[in-house]
Structures are given as C-alpha cells and as structure tokens.
Structure 1
C-alpha cells in the first residue's frame, strides 16, 4: 500500500468513526525519542524518517508539522504522498492545536492514540479544544491498516554491576524515595526507558542506538515493581533484582497495577514522559504530583566511577576516530569513497575497540551540500561520492560498556573557499568560548547558549538547533534535564553533568559546519562572589587546523585550541601505532 492509499484508508476510517481530525505522533507508550520499529507510525504513514514530527489529517488536508532541522528532508520525503510540510515557527511546540481551532467547527471530534501522547500534551489539547466544544477521543486507526506491523522487540537484557554504575540499585531507589518525600508523594510511576535503565542498572537492545529495555516501574511505600518481559533476563539477574527488593511483573500488567492503586494515593509522575493512556488508568481521586522524574536529575550527575569509565570510552573513541581520519586521508583519490562507505568504515573502526556495544545514533556523514542538513541521513538516493574538494561533516558516536560518545568533526578536503574557512573558524570560536567558560553556580543553559552563539551573531549568522544536550552513561545519547539552547529551561548546571557543545553554520545547497565536543561540568573555585564552575573537555579527537582563518581567532582562543590538540596527542599517542602517532602529531601541531 503506497502512502496515498494509506492516507485514503485513514480518511475512510475517520468517516466511519465520525472523527474530523486524526493526529499521529512520533512516540511510544514510554515517550521515547528513538522508537522500536513497532511504533514507527509516521514513517509507515508518510515516509518521513526524522525523529521529530506530528501528522494531522482532516478530510481536506494532511500535514506534517516539524522544525527547521528537517525542512529539506521533509519536503523531499513527503513529495507525492498526499502530505504537506508545515514549518514550525518554534521547535518542539504543538502549533497544530491552534490550526485545529481555526479549521474545525464546534462539535468536531479529534482522535489520537492515548498511549502515544504525553500527559502534558493531551491535557493542553483537551483544555484548548474543549473551550470550542471540540471533543478528543482515543482511537488507533494506524493499527487497523498496518497489517504487516512487526511485533515488540524481544532482545535479551542484562544488569551492569556496581563496579560499572558506581551505585547499587537499592542505593539509587533510596535516593529517589528521598526525593519523593520532599515532594509529598508516596508512589512514583516511571515509564521513561532511560530512567528505568539507570535506576535498575538495566541495559538492553530494544531500541536502536539506545541500550534500554521496554519496561515500566512503580515505586510504592513498601515495595518496587518492575514490569518487564522476564524472558529477556537471565535467572542470575532476576535473583539480583529480587535481592534488591524488586518484584518482577509481566510488561502488560502495568495498567492493572495502576488501576488498583489506593484511592488516596499521592502519585508522582513526569507529565512530559508519561503517556496519557496510562495516566487515565489512575483511580479518579488520585492526587497527582507533577514534575521531572527524580531519576532524571540524579542520573545527570555522573558519579566518580561513571566519570572514570567515560574517560576510558573517550580513549577508545579517540583511537577509532584517529584511525578513521587517517584512513580517509590515505585513501581519498585512490579509491571510491562515498558518504555511506565512510560511515561504514568509521563503524568498523569503532567495533574494533574494547567494550564497544554499538553506535549511539545513526551516523551523519554529509559531504558539501549534504552537510548543510543538520540531521542528514544518507540513503541510496542521496549517497554522494566524496571528492577532493570541499567539506565533509561527520557527526557520530558509540555506545561502550563504560560510556556513550557523541562527536562532530569537519574534514577539509582539497580546495576550500574563504567562505568555508570563515564559517569553520566562527563555529570553532563558538565551541571554544563555551568550552573555556567560567560561570557562577546557578547558571542555566540558555545563558551559556548565547555565549556560544555570540561569535556567529557578530557576523549575522545563527543556527536552528540547540547548542548542547546532556549525555547518558552507556545510555541515551540525548539526556536531560539540562541543555544548552535558547529555550528558557529552568535547570542550572551542576558538577557531574556531561553535555555536548556543538554550534554550527549551515548554508543550504553549499556546505555545513558543526564542531562538537562533550564536556564535564566541574567546580572552578569560589570567591566572595560565590562558587564558580567550568567545563572539562572529555572528547579526544584532533580539531583540524588546516583551513582556519587565524585572523578571526583571539590569542586566548588560539591558546585553547593548541592546548586541546596537544592533550589529544598526549593521551592517544601511547595507544596508537607508531605510524598513527606520527600522523596525529602532525595534525596536532600548534598554529
């Protein structure tokens, strides 16, 4: 069934059920960013493969609402499908609600699958639409027409020990319980997979790139329940969980457990990471206490054990990247290398490293114009041969048993224009300014964001994505609660947070530049003005200096760059071959 036929089938079901607008979200019941194949409804319905978007269908219009990262991709993928791109003015917002208010008459019905939408978004829609006497109902038309849908993943799962995680499961649960007491809650329902993975020292393969397991958790005053397919676990791991005071229950039993909570229960939930369908299972008189999951805050603060292990992962990643860029330089012009084959080669070098588990996201390998697409994903149709002319952007990362990596580098190849050199240098300035920043305790991500963007703003340049995101410990490559972006996120940076810094410049049809390192927030010192923090750079991969416009760099920025490249060489040289070390030494020469 082609996309136009699927759209027609959905509209026929809408007529039959008297639904005036049908919404399809990019979500699963755990509100995950990356989805198991079973829940990839948007690619099934319209072919769009970006990680952020919402489909809204009426009898007269079908649109995909997404943000600027995906405008070019969406226009290409939606061609001929019957869907149109609707460009979000503000990323990560539900602007289609206002559109529905404009086009739907009083008494209309809006349907969506309540299992695949957050509590926060569902309540926002309910509050907005019911004021116009528009009803929202729970419907799942996708399952009706998706006849060859794959089942839920059944991959094995496993526990990581205290020697890797730094804390026992029971110690983490006690930390969460302390937070619940402060919030006046006696129960806590968790459905976000990375929170559960952190809390139970649990890892798996149910979602591509994210080492998580489909599961739910319910913390009660006297016990802790984990809802999971126990066939995924070894008996030894089940015994460990039981010894830590955790009882295991079938995955699908979660709805029954929620319905059977005491009527006077005070339940803490994260409304942005809990689906509306499970929220509706709570007894009517339940007191809901809303907030960010306590585990989200706790896991963002890496302990010393995790920090030490992350350092090992960075060494492994640095070796793989050095081997890759040397291979690129040695083989370009001598054999045919494409975006696809380069990404595959990089994955091969990572796979050779100790404790490698898999990639942390789909590698973005964009040559020249394709590098101008921030979330570019190479396909058979878009795959470009990399020639000795221009810029090659590689954004990639690995999952290791002892950490998660995410790095972007731009490789100048052959002839590069002065415009490309200037863009490269300005992006580097933004990275350096964020990396060497010293800031007072209590500083938020949006304050740091403006400092990273300042070198670009001075040249009337900006970019449409955030400057940085949190990183998990052998967990999701995107993690909260902190970030670095223009959004007014009320989360202060604290020692132990690992975050990316990744400014960029994108010139559609020409080239893209993004340079990304991971940094650890650490104490800097104190004075009569209070405590101050700074960043320690964790990523170990040289920053190419061959096309830098040195005139655009201040002396302190040049000094930072030289120190960074020297550190990269000193840490990687002992674990490289003599030939690789000599090659890297040249790349790390001061400018």
Structure 2
C-alpha cells in the first residue's frame, strides 16, 4: 500500500466507527524516545522518520505536527503522502488540540490508541475537548491495516554486576522506597525502560541505540515485580534477581496486575512516562501521586564507580575520534568520501575499541547545507560527497561497557568563508562559557542556558534546540531530569550529573555549526554566600582551531581552549601510534 492508500484505509475505518478525528503519536507503551520497529507507526503511515511528531487525520485533512528541527525533513518526506506539514510554534507542545477544538463540531469523537499516549497528554486532551462535548475513544486502526508489522523484539538481556554499577539492585530499591515514603506512596508503577534498566541493573537490545529491555515494574509494600520475558535472561541472572527480592512475571500480565491492586492504593506514577491505557487499569478510588520517577532523579547522580567507567569510555571514544579525523585528512581528495561513508568509517573506528557495544544514536554527518539540519539523517537521496570547501558537522556517540558518549565536532574542509569562521568561533565561545561556569547550588538549566547563548545573542543569533541534556550510564543518550534549555524546568543541578553542552548556529541551505562536550557537575567550594558548583569536561577530542577567528575570543576563553586541547593530547597520547600522536599534537597546538 502507498501512503495515500493507507490514509484512505484509515479514513474508511474512521467512518465505519463514526470517529471524526484519529490521532497517531510517536510512542510505545513505555513512552520511549527511540521506538522498537513494532511501534514505528508514523513512518509506516506517512514516511516521516523524525523522532518527534503527531499525525491528526480527519475526513478532509491529514497533517503532521512537528517542530523546527524537522521542518525541512518533513516537507521532503511528506511529499505525495497525502499529509501536510503543520509547523509547531512552540516545540514539544500539543498545539493540535487547539486545532481539533476549532475543526470539530460539538459532540464529535476523537480516537487514539490509549497505550501510545502519556497520562498527562491524554488528560490534557480530555479536559480541553470536553469544553465542546468532544469524546475521546480508545481505538487502534494502525494494527488493522499494518498487515506485515514486525513482532515485539526477542533479543537477549543481561544484568550488570554490582562492581560495574556501583550499587546492588536491593540497595537501589531501598532508595526508591525511601523516596516513595517521603511522597506518601506505598505503591509505585514504572513504565520507562531506562528507569527500569537502572533500577534492576538490567541491560538489553530491544531498542536501537538504547541498551534497554521491554519491561514494566511494580513496587508494592511487600514485593517487587518485574514484568518481562524471562526467556531473555540466563538462569543465573534470574536467580540473582530473585536473591535481590525481585519476582519475574510475564510482560503481558502487567495490565491485570494493575487492575488487581487494592482499591485504596496510594500509587506513585510519572504522568509523562506512563501510558494512559495502563493508567486506566488502576482501580477506581486509587490515590494517584504524580511526579518524576524517583529512579530518574537517582540515576542522574552518577556514583564514583559509574564516573570511573564513564572516564574510560571517554578515553576509548577519544582514540576512535582521533583516528577518524586523521583518516579524513589523510584521505580527503585521494578517494571519494561521502557523508555516509564517513559515518560508517567512524563507526568502524569505534568498533575497534575494547568494550564497545554499539552506537548511542544514529550518526548525524552533514556537509555544508545538510549540517544546517540539527537532526539530519543521511538518506540515499541526500548523501553528499565531501568535496570542495565548507564545514562537515559530525554528531555521534557510542555505547561502551560501561558508559555512553555523545559528541559533536565540525571539521573545516578546504577553504572556509569568514562567516563560517565567525559562526564556528561564536559557537565555541558559547561552549566555553558554559563549560567554565561557576554557579551557586540551586541553579537550574534555564539559567545556564542563557549564559551559553549570550555570545550568540550579542550578534542577534539564536538556535532552536536546547543547549544540553542529561546522559545515561551505559543507557539512553538522552535522559533527565536535568537539562539546559530555555524551558523553565524545575530541576536544580547537583554533583554527579552528566550533561551535554552543545550550542549551535544553523544557516539553512548553507552550513551548520555545533560543538558538543559532555560535562560532569562537581563541587567548586564554599564561601559566606553558600556552596558553589562547576563543570568538569569529560569528552576527550580536540577542538579544531584552524578556522577560529581569534579576535572574537577573550583571553580567558583562549586559555580554556588551549588547556582543554592540551589535556586531550596528554590523555590520549599513550593510546595512539607515533604517527597518530604526532598528528594530534599538531591539532592541539596552542593558539
């Protein structure tokens, strides 16, 4: 079936069940960012492959709501599909709800799969639409027309040891229970896969790039149940879980387990990371206590064991990146190099490293105009040869035993313009200002965000994505609760948090610049004004100085850059060949 034929089939199902609008979200029952193939309904329905988007279908209109990161991509991928692009004015907001209120008559019906939408969003939709007596209905039309849909993943899973994780499973459960007590809850339901992976020292291969396992967890006053396919685990791992007080139950039993909870249950859930369908299974009369999962807060504070492992992962990653950029320079102009072949070569260099498991996300490798797309994904049609003059942006990362990396560098190719040099330098200024920041305890991400953007704002330049996100320990490349963005997220930075700093400048049709390091929040000291924090840079890869406009940098910024590149050289040199070390030393020369 073509996309137009699929749209027609969906409309026929809607008409048969008197559904006036059908909403398709980019989600699974765990509200994951990266989805198993089984749940990639939006690519199936319309061809759009971006990670953020919502489809809304009526008999007279079909549209994709997405944000500015994906406008160009969506316009290309939706061509001929029967769907129109609707540009979100504010990222990560359900603006289509207002559209439904205007487009639908009083008494209409809106259908969507309750398993694939958050509690918070479903309740917001319900509370808004009720103004016009519009009902929401639980329907799944996608499954009806998706005849060749792949099944749920059956990949093997495994437990990581206490020596790797720094804490036993039982110790983590004890911490979560303590947080539940503070919040007045005696039960806790967890859907989010990275929270479950952290809590049970569990890792797997069910989702691309994220080493997680399809599972749910239920903590009660007397037991802990883990709902997953136990065939994925060895008998030894099953026994370890049992010894740590965890009972394994089949994945499909979770809904029934929720329905059978005591009616006076005081249960803690995260409304942004729990699907509405399972929320509806909770007994009537349950007291719902909403908030960020306690495990989300706990796993954001990396312990000393995790930090030591992360440092080793950064070292391995730095060696791979050094070899990649040297290979690029050595082979540029001598053989055909495309965005795709460069990304494949970088993956190969990472794969040579000990403890490498896989990539942490799909590599963004964009030359010139493609680099201006913040979430660019290489396709057969877009794949460019890296030839001539310009900027080559590479945003990539790896999963290692045990650590997760995420880094962006921009490589000058041939001759670069003064505008490209200025943009590169301004982005670097933003990175440096964030990296060397000293700030009081209690500081939140939006405060740090403005400091990173200040060098760009002074030139009337801005960028549309956040400046930084949390990152997992051999887990998801994006994790909370902290971030660095304009959004007023009520989470303070604390020692142990690992976060990216990645300002950017994007000139559509021309070029893009983003420079990204991962930093660790650490104590800085105290004074009569309180306790202060700062960042330690973890990423180990040189920052190219070839096209820097030095006149735009202050003396302290130049000092930071020189010190950082010197640190990169000193830590990587023992792990490089003589030729590689000589090449890197030149790249790290002070300016």
Bin for the TM-score computed over the shorter chain: over 0.9
Secondary structure of the residue aligned to 1:147 is coil
Aligned partner of 2:298 in structure 1 is 298
Alignment of 1:391-410 (within 5 A): 391-410=391-410
Aligned to 1:380: 380
Q: Which residue of 2 aligns with 1:572?
A: 572
Taking the aligned partners of 1:559 and 1:132, their CA distance within structure 2 comes to: 61
Distance 1:90 1:530 in 2: 36
Could you tell me which residue of structure 2 aligns to residue 245 of structure 1? 245
SS at match of 1:131: helix
| Counterpart in the other structure of 2:512 | 512
- Whether the aligned pair in 2 keeps the contact of 1:445 and 1:491 (CA below 8 Å) is yes
2:134 matched to 1:134? yes
Q: Residue by residue, what CA displacement relative to the aligned partner does 1:421-475 show, whole Å, maximum 9, x if unpaired?
A: 0000000000000000000000000000000000000000000000000000000
TM-score w.r.t. structure 2 length? 1.00
Counterpart in the other structure of 2:202 = 202
CA deviation map 1:527-575 (0-9, x unaligned): 0000000000000000000000000000000000000000000000011
Q: Distance in 1 between matches of 2:537 and 2:244?
A: 36
Corresponding residue for residue 153 of structure 1: 153
Alpha-carbon distance in structure 1 between the residues aligned to 2:453 and 2:473: 27
Aligned counterpart, 1:308: 308
Q: Distance in 2 between matches of 1:522 and 1:65?
A: 39
CA distance in 2, matches of 1:555, 1:294: 43
Residue of structure 2 in register with 1:166 after alignment: 166
Partners of 1:567 and 1:61 in 2: CA distance = 56
Q: 2:438 is matched with which residue?
A: 438
Distance in 1 between residues matched to 2:509 and 2:147, nearest whole Å = 39
Deviation at 1:388, TM superposition (A): 3.5
Q: Report how far residue 3 of structure 1 moved.
A: 0.4
Report what 2:529 is aligned to: 529
**Residues 249-295 of structure 1: CA deviation (Å, up to 9, x unaligned):** 00000001000000111000000000000000000011100000000
Q: 2:297 matched to 1:287? A: no
Q: Equivalent residues in 2 for 1:199-348 (5 A)?
A: 199-348=199-348
Matched ranges for 1:459-538 at <5 A: 459-538=459-538
1:204-243 Cα distance to aligned partner (Å, 9 max, x none): 0000000000000000000000000000000000000000
Shift of 1:417: 0.2
In the alignment, the residues of structure 2 paired with residue 87 and residue 473 of structure 1 have an alpha-carbon distance, to the nearest angstrom, of 34
Conserved 8 A contact 1:364-1:377: yes
In structure 2, the residue matched to 1:19 is 19
Aligned partners of 1:437 and 1:9: how far apart in 2? 55
| Residues 58-73 of structure 1: pairs in structure 2 closer than 5 A | 58-73=58-73
CA–CA separation in structure 2 for the residues paired with 1:275 and 1:590? 52
Q: Which residue of 1 aligns with 2:99?
A: 99
1:38, distance to aligned residue in structure 2 (A) = 0.1
How far is 1:402 from its partner?
Answer: 1.1
Indicate the residue corresponding to 1:562 in structure 2.
Answer: 562
Task: Give the match for residue 417 of structure 1.
Answer: 417
- Counterpart-to-counterpart distance in 1, 2:429 and 2:294: 36
Structure 1 CA distance, aligned partners of 2:566 and 2:362? 30
1:465-516 deviation digits (Å, cap 9, x = unpaired): 0000000000000000000000000000000000000000000000000000
Task: Map residues 81-92 of structure 1 onto 2, 5 A cutoff.
Answer: 81-92=81-92
Secondary structure of 1:31's partner? coil
User: Is the 1:226–1:248 Cα contact (8 Å) retained in structure 2?
Assistant: yes
Contact 1:332 1:388 in 2 (8 A): no
Cα distance in structure 2, aligned partners of 1:354 and 1:487: 38
Provide the secondary structure at the position in 1 that maps to 2:132: coil
2:296 & 2:135 partners in 1: Cα distance? Answer: 34
Contact between 1:112 and 1:140, CA under 8 Å: does it hold in 2? yes
Q: So what's the TM-score if we normalise by structure 1? A: 1.00
Per-residue deviation, 1:131: 1.5
Contact in 2 for aligned 1:62/1:82 (Cα 8 Å)? yes
Q: Distance in 2 between matches of 1:129 and 1:588?
A: 59
**2:356 alignment counterpart:** 356
Once the two structures are superposed, what CA deviation does each residue of 1:111-150 show, in whole Å capped at 9, x if it has no partner?
0000000000000000000121000000000000000000
Find the counterpart in structure 2 of residue 75 from structure 1.
75
Q: Do the aligned partners of 1:13 and 1:141 also contact (CA within 8 Å) in 2?
A: yes
Tell me the CA shift for residue 389 of structure 1: 1.1
Distance in 2 (CA, whole Å) between partners of 1:137 and 1:388 is 55
User: What is the alpha-carbon distance in structure 2 between the residues aligned to residue 483 and residue 40 of structure 1?
Assistant: 26
| Unpaired segments ≥5 residues, structure 2 | none
- Structure 1 unaligned blocks of 5 or more: none
Provide the C-alpha distance between the structure 2 equivalents of 1:196 and 1:465, rounded to a whole number of angstroms: 28
Secondary structure of the corresponding residue to residue 309 of structure 2:
helix
Query: In structure 2, how many angstroms separate the alpha carbons of the residues matched to 1:264 and 1:518?
Result: 45
Q: Which residue of 1 aligns with 2:7?
A: 7
CA distance in 1, matches of 2:205, 2:389: 39
Q: Within 2, Cα distance between the matches of 1:380 and 1:72?
A: 16
